[in-house]
Structure 1
Amino acid sequence: MTTAAHWPASARYQQVQDTAPGGLGFVQDLLNTASLGKPRKPDLLESVDTAGEWLTSSLAALGTLDPTAPPPHPLDTRGLTRLRTLRDDLRTALATSHTDEPTPTGTAPPIRVTATISVDAEGARLEPRGTGAELLRSYVLIQLAAATYADTLRRLKVCANPRCRGAFYDRSKNCSRLWHDVTTCGNTQNVRAYRARQKERGLASRH
């Protein structure tokens, strides 16, 4: 039996079964470094020091799943800004729409990285290229491309509750989950929507 990787950022928001497989789990962990939830958790990319601690732990988890994982590398201020921008752009692109509170999807600016294509007897594959934050950005985009071809990227979602926005991996059969946690995020949104409908009906009955 394969032991699940311990993703330090994602562990703050959901159970093990909600984490993405393989290298996509690192992408999810990057998304969950943000200040999310209620009460809000700290932003792990707020400073070079906290980002370094998260990165060391997250790459250690990744190394148990992917032998091609990028090695730990110190982040400077510019690299931290680039990594934070990537995280926020990905959250915008992956945001899940909600019927009562629509969220624009696919509106993030294009994310450009460099990569190397290696070809051998087993086929062609993309390999990350660069150093520091650029190597991480390259790895993340390669994982997203691989997940697209494997048809698993659609399962990496951002909670439809605007007060949460935690990233989770939807393992439901029909890939229909909207909430990071249906018992908290889902109920909160449903109650809010219900009250809004009741208010509208009350106003309508006065006219």
Structure 2
Amino acid sequence: MTTARWPASARYEAPESSAPGGLGFVQDLLNTASLGKPRQPDLLESADAARQWLHASAAVLHRIDPGAPAMPDGLDPGGLRHVVSFRDDLRALLSPGPAEGTAETVAVPSIGTTAAVTLGPGGARLSAQGDDVEALRSYALVQLVAASYGGTLRRLKVCANPRCRGAFYDRSKNCSRVWHDVTTCGNTQNVRAYRARLKERGLSSAP
């Protein structure tokens, strides 16, 4: 079985780190942001860049899920702002929260959209509704709900490194991965934490 190559996520992740099915589209939307080292371009920075990403990502999506709604061919300035805001809200929802026991609080955005519920012999089915930007938002949220009920949503994560925040799908057996790339994000954060501890003790890392 050939793993789909989502255009935005492929800039940062190996194919085996792609989320399954339509959840891969949500991951790809998250990874349109400027991430990585060196930084990759934001694929929603302009209408032309967004059009190219939508075309490429929708082509992958409809091979995986022929029943997915049509995605917009392009975005006007207002639509582009809505998609960028939606992407950023999703990242906030999926980002790791503060460490347990801390006093810090995180405001979680409320993302509203519409979807249809149909009942049949196989049970209830949730499907995306709307056109253009609303279809994109609705489909993404339907995938998140389906993943939640299927027990796979916990595997779609945002890197714990605040300088990365790349979206990845954790396929580890115990779902314990926290870094987008342990050799870069993980090591960078560990060194930064070590230096912070030395500073707190009034020590220097120099010999």
Distance in 1 between the 2:174 and 2:68 partners?
Answer: 31
Partner of 1:42: 41
Partner of 1:77: 77
- Could you tell me the TM-score, scaled by structure 1's length? 0.91
List gaps (5 residues or longer) in structure 2.
Answer: none
Q: CA deviation at 1:43?
A: 0.6
List gaps (5 residues or longer) in structure 1.
Answer: none
Partner of 2:165: 165
Distance in 1 between the 2:8 and 2:202 partners?
Answer: 43
Q: CA deviation at 1:10?
A: 0.3
Distance in 2 between the 1:13 and 1:27 partners?
Answer: 15
Partner of 2:32: 33
Q: CA deviation at 1:48?
A: 1.3
Distance in 2 between the 1:187 and 1:6 partners?
Answer: 27
Distance in 1 between the 2:160 and 2:141 partners?
Answer: 23
Letter in 2 for 1:49: D
Task: Give the 3-state SS of the residue equivalent to 1:64 in structure 2.
Answer: helix
Partner of 1:94: 94
For residues 64-112 of structure 1, give each alpha carbon's deviation from its aligned partner in whole angstroms, at most 9, with x where no partner exists.
211112224232222211111110001011112475xx8x786332111
Distance in 2 between the 1:201 and 1:108 partners?
Answer: 35
Task: Give the 3-state SS of the residue equivalent to 1:126 in structure 2.
Answer: strand
In the alignment, is the contact (CA less than 8 A) between 2:71 and 2:133 conserved in 1? no
**Which aligned segments of 4 or more residues in structure 1 are displaced greater than 3 angstroms?**
none
- Could you tell me the TM-score, scaled by structure 2's length? 0.91
Partner of 1:17: 16
Partner of 2:152: 152
Q: Does 1:8 align with 2:7?
A: yes
For residues 141-195 of structure 1, give each alpha carbon's deviation from its aligned partner in whole angstroms, at most 9, with x where no partner exists.
0000000001111111100111111000011111111100001110000011111
In the alignment, is the contact (CA less than 8 A) between 2:157 and 2:170 conserved in 1? yes
Tell me the matched-pair count. Answer: 200
Distance in 1 between the 2:47 and 2:108 partners?
Answer: 25
Structure 1 vs Structure 2 CA RMSD: 1.8
Distance in 1 between the 2:98 and 2:117 partners?
Answer: 38
Task: Give the 3-state SS of the residue equivalent to 2:118 in structure 1.
Answer: strand
For residues 26-77 of structure 1, give each alpha carbon's deviation from its aligned partner in whole angstroms, at most 9, with x where no partner exists.
0000000001112111110111111111011001111121111222423222
Q: 1:21 to 1:149 in 2, by over 3 A?
A: same
Task: Give the 3-state SS of the residue equivalent to 1:187 in structure 2.
Answer: helix
Partner of 1:66: 65
In the alignment, is the contact (CA less than 8 A) between 1:157 and 1:168 conserved in 2? yes
